[in-house]
Amino acid sequence: MKVKIENLTKKYGEKSALREVNLDVPDGNFMVILGPSGSGKTTLLRILAGLLYPTEGEIFFNDINITRKPANKRNVAMVFQNYPLFPHMTVLENLRFPLESQRDGKIFKRRINSDKVIQKKVKETMELLHIEEHSQKYPSQLSGGEQQRTAIGRELIRDPVLFLFDEPLSNIDARLRYEMRSWIRRLHSVIKKTMIYVTHDQSEASSLGDLIVLLNEGVIVQIGSPEELYKNPVSKFVAQFIGNYPMNFLPFTTKKGKVLLNEKEISVPKNITTIIKEKKIENGDFGFRAESIREFNPKKPKEKDMLCLDCTVEYSEKILDQQILTLKFDDRKIFYVTKTKKMFKENDLVTILLHFENIHIFNESGEKVT
Ligand code: ADP
Ligand code: MG
């Protein structure tokens, strides 16, 4: 089923949790929405599930406007961080439950699930989830991953038209989280239902999504592949949020067409001075990734179009074959990741080089200009 979100705004009192959100989710897509805590992810999912109504805007499921349709008529599955399984029921009984309540409940008013149908569906679902061997266990006897798989199974068995995942793996330990991610992706490739997965974890989003929708303060700030967001962030916010290390920033000023760093004039390539002039930038930031920094080697001739900075080591940390250094350049901190064999220690002097090709330029309001 395809989902269309049109001009969605949600206010809680005066505060806007979502502002004019527009998004198309194609049929069968696995869409990842990434955003820091408080950016409006849960609000968006609750609106899609019908648990909340928007202040403005519309939601379409397969071109039908369902904005005011109540939750129990939408057939949407939602999986949370803590998904409550019934503790007094076995895995098998937990899975049977949604089908039995459909059969017995007044929602459908007719007997739709015969015992035979239920049995067949439960069997299929357990196979798909690889939990057959645990069918007689109670939730307390299952591992975190098995519990979460059963919880997903309980949604799956109802045959929903849309799956919403609200940070389902936040409570699971790191190794299992990794397994569960690939399991969810495989589940999607088998059942091919439209899924929307939200997370605040950029590495989770990058590993799960072909396309990431990045949300901040209720606004979609960028949509792109993990690589696009990493290589071409539209703003300082995106640059800081994506990547294993936040991007480094150094503020610059301009004076009569010259670029100053710490009030000292530096030489920058012509294309950059042209853009700075064209866009009339007086203050901005140079942004660069820890991974694009090189150490200056006095034996090699200095290349053109390089920014050269004399720094001191404030802190160094070794992780396997990498050293992660926090450098100081005047009062600014710079993250630098290196595989060099030389061991750095506090207060060592390090001269770093940056190719201007690897430097992003942000204007005063934090938007990327080049
Ligand atoms: P996320 O899931 O990305 O952490 P939420 O959608 O839960 O974000 O919240 C978005 C914003 O709306 C937050 O600032 C939050 O404090 C606010 N908010 C969420 N629910 C309510 C509510 N019921 N009443 C008032 N403010 C709320
Ligand atoms: Mg949330």
Task: Find the CATH number of the domain harbouring 332.
Answer: 2.40.50.140
Q: Which of 11, 15, 80 is the pocket-test mutation for ligand 1 (most atoms within 8 Å of CB)?
A: 15
Q: Which of 11, 43, 81, 201 is the pocket-test mutation for ligand 1 (most atoms within 8 Å of CB)?
A: 43
Same domain, 93 and 141: yes
Residues 6+ positions from 221 with CB-CB distance below 8 Å: 214, 215, 234, 235, 237, 238
Evaluate if residue 23 carries a pLDDT over 90: yes
Main-chain phi, psi angles of 23, to 5 degrees: -160, 135
DSSP H or E segment with residue 257: none
Q: Among 284, 267, 283, 289, which Cα is nearest to 334's?
A: 289
**DSSP 3-state percent helix, strand, coil across the chain (nearest 5):** 30, 35, 35
Residue 367 lies in a domain: no
Residues with CB under 6 A from ligand 1: 12, 17, 35, 37-43
Distance (angstroms) between ligand 2 centre and the Cα of 39 equals 8
Distance (angstroms) between ligand 2 centre and the Cα of 81 equals 10
What is the pLDDT at residue 112? 61
Residue 170 lies in a domain: yes
Contact 86, 94 (CB under 8 A): yes
Contact 213, 23 (CB under 8 A): yes
**Residue nearest atom 25 in ligand 1 by C-alpha distance:** 12
Percentage of residues in the chain with pLDDT exceeding 70?
97
**Residue nearest atom 12 in ligand 1 by C-alpha distance:** 17
Q: Which of 12, 37, 167 is the pocket-test mutation for ligand 1 (most atoms within 8 Å of CB)?
A: 12
Evaluate if residue 298 carries a pLDDT over 70: yes
In whole angstroms, how far apart are CA 76 and each of 49, 51, 79, 130? 6, 11, 10, 23
Shortest-distance atom of ligand 1 to CA 35: 3
Same domain, 290 and 218: no
Burial bucket for residue 105 (CB in 10 Å: 0-12, 13-18, 19+): exposed
Main-chain phi, psi angles of 347, to 5 degrees: 70, 5
Same domain, 212 and 259: no
Same domain, 22 and 109: yes
Read off the pLDDT band of 68 (50, 70, 90).
very high
Structural domains counted in the chain: 2
**What's the whole-number average pLDDT of the chain?**
92
- How large is the average pLDDT for residues 166-176? 85
Closest ligand to Cα 17: 1
pTM of the full predicted structure?
0.91
The DSSP string of 58-125 is EEEETTEE-TT--GGGT-EEEE-SS----TTS-HHHHHHHHHHHHHHSTTT-S----HHHHHHHHHHH
Shortest-distance atom of ligand 1 to CA 18: 10
Shortest-distance atom of ligand 1 to CA 39: 3
Q: Among 98, 194, 218, 189, which Cα is nearest to 151's?
A: 98
Same domain, 351 and 286: yes
- How large is the average pLDDT for residues 104-125? 73
Evaluate if residue 53 carries a pLDDT over 90: yes
Closest ligand to Cα 44: 1
User: Which residues share a beta bridge with 8?
Assistant: 21
Read off the pLDDT band of 222 (50, 70, 90).
very high
Distance, CA of 332 to CA of 362 (rounded, Å) = 17
Q: Which spans in the chain are helix H?
A: 41-49, 91-104, 115-129, 144-156, 174-191, 202-208, 226-231, 236-241, 270-278
Can you say whether the dihedral through the CA atoms of 202, 204, 205, 207 is positive or negative? positive
Distance, CA of 254 to CA of 350 (rounded, Å) = 26
Of 188, 223, 241, which residue constitutes the final position of a domain? Answer: 241
Residue 112 lies in a domain: yes
Of 189, 206, 241, which residue constitutes the final position of a domain? Answer: 241
Distance (angstroms) between ligand 2 centre and the Cα of 283 equals 35
Residue 57 lies in a domain: yes
Distance (angstroms) between ligand 2 centre and the Cα of 168 equals 10
Distance, CA of 76 to CA of 163 (rounded, Å) = 6
Rounded to a whole number of angstroms, the CA Rg of the chain reads 26
Same domain, 201 and 80: yes
Read off the pLDDT band of 105 (50, 70, 90).
low
What is the pLDDT at residue 107? 53
- Domain ranges, residue 61: 3-241
Same domain, 252 and 234: no
Distance (angstroms) between ligand 2 centre and the Cα of 83 equals 14
Q: What single-letter amino acid sits at 78? A: M
Contact 267, 322 (CB under 8 A): no
Read off the pLDDT band of 302 (50, 70, 90).
confident
DSSP H or E segment with residue 295: strand 294-295
What is the pLDDT at residue 366? 96
Evaluate if residue 20 carries a pLDDT over 70: yes
Instruction: Kindly report, residue by residue over 135-169, the tens digit of the pLDDT.
Output: 999 999 998 888 889 999 999 998 999 999 999 98
Distance (angstroms) between ligand 1 centre and the Cα of 122 equals 36
More confident of the two residues 103 and 68: 68
**Residue nearest atom 17 in ligand 1 by C-alpha distance:** 17
Same domain, 317 and 207: no
Distance (angstroms) between ligand 2 centre and the Cα of 167 equals 7
Virtual torsion, Cα 343, 345, 350, 356, nearest 10 deg: 80
Same domain, 169 and 254: no
Can you say whether the dihedral through the CA atoms of 157, 161, 165, 169 is positive or negative? positive
Read off the pLDDT band of 251 (50, 70, 90).
very high
Instruction: Kindly report, residue by residue over 176-213, the tens digit of the pLDDT.
Output: 888 889 889 999 999 999 999 999 999 999 999 989 99
Instruction: Give me the numbers of helices (H) and strands (E) for the chain, helices first please.
Output: 9, 20
